[in-house]
A and B are shown apart, each in its own frame.
Chain A
């Protein structure tokens, strides 16, 4: 079965501190990997995807296939980064498509 683990339900850091949100997955095949974010009172939205190799809002995510991890990192956290973050691998094979979401990590960036 496909599994996604985000070990921290809550993560609190101070503004300017580095932040790392962990994600480990257990998946057959080669999933596409995404991070989604939900800010307070806003809809769930894509933050970044592995295949793009972009840095969005200062966040990057490194795929480690050996450790099956896709941790999200930002060197200097900002207060506006406070949100719920979800790691979500996607089934990519054939005609199937679905996202399997982790339980999420609530990040709070304190002033």
Chain B
């Protein structure tokens, strides 16, 4: 079966702009989580969606938001980009809570 697909793979944005990242989960998976990966902080949880509802949110500012559509595809949005937002953003999907999370390849965001 097809894995988790994230688009785009690479993005370069300038400070102050906004960006939208997309994640298509594995077919049948209703839970989608987002993580930010940086060399300094490692992998940090952003938020998780299940059936179009945000169930949990990490400690990130309100500039980071997300949503999930009825087909379980998810998007995350970062507004007013800062240099520190440069990171690899990973999406993971799972069938249910506490089951294996399958990760996408990530979107590499560079803010200049």
Contacts and interface: CB of A to CB of B under 8 A. Distances in A.
Contact of B56 (A32, A46, A91, A103): A91
B33 interface: yes
Contacts of A91: 56
Contacts of B44: 101
Interface stretch (B11-19, B62-70, B79-87, B95-103): B95-103
Residue among B3, B42, B92, B106 with the highest chain A CB neighbour number at 10 A: B42
Interface residues of A, number: 21
Which secondary structure dominates where chain B touches chain A?
strand
Interface string B51-75: 0000110100000000000000000
Given A44-B90, A102-B42, A103-B42, A96 B56 contact: yes
Interface of B: 3, 31, 33, 35, 42-45, 48, 50, 55-56, 58, 90, 92, 94, 97-98, 100-106
9 contacts: A44-B90, A45-B103, A46-B102, A49-B100, A91-B56, A96-B55, A97-B50, A97-B55, A101-B35
Interface of A: 32, 34, 43-46, 49, 86, 90-92, 95-104
